[in-house]
Amino acid sequence: MNDNLLAHPPGSAEEQFSTLLKRPGLRIERIVSTGQCSPPDFWYDQAEGEWVSLLQGEARLRFADEDTARHLRAGDFIDIAPHRRHRVEWTPADQVTIWLAVFYFV
């Protein structure tokens, strides 16, 4: 991977995960989505907290304790508490969505 948060290889059909920095209690990850979403009935339930920002594109993020999904656009960010169940309901297949995720232990 290039040292550029917005760089992405053209034509990749797989979602890409790149660890940018890892330290005790901290991991920074870049995720590139091109239409991927969570499998049906799947919920993330992580032991660590996650601060996530959308650098490019858009997505719908759903929390188990909310009635509707949140529509995120470039520049939006959210802090997800440990064990707060969530899922990615949608990313557009016709554009690249780039996430910056910071995982931390509280």
Domain presence at residue 1:
no
d(CA 10, CA 70): 28
The model's pLDDT over 1-42, given as tens digits with 9 standing for 90+, comes to: 458 999 877 767 789 999 999 999 999 999 999 999 999 999
Range of the domain at 66: 16-104
What single DSSP character describes residue 95? S
CATH number, residue 80: 2.60.120.10
- Evaluate whether residue 65 is within a structural domain: yes
* 57 belongs to a structural domain: yes
Q: Tell me if 5 is assigned to some domain.
A: no
Answering whether pTM is above 0.85, one says yes
- Is residue 90 in some structural domain? yes
Instruction: Flag whether 55 is in a domain.
Output: yes
Over residues 44-68, the pLDDT tens digits come to 999 999 999 999 999 999 999 999 9
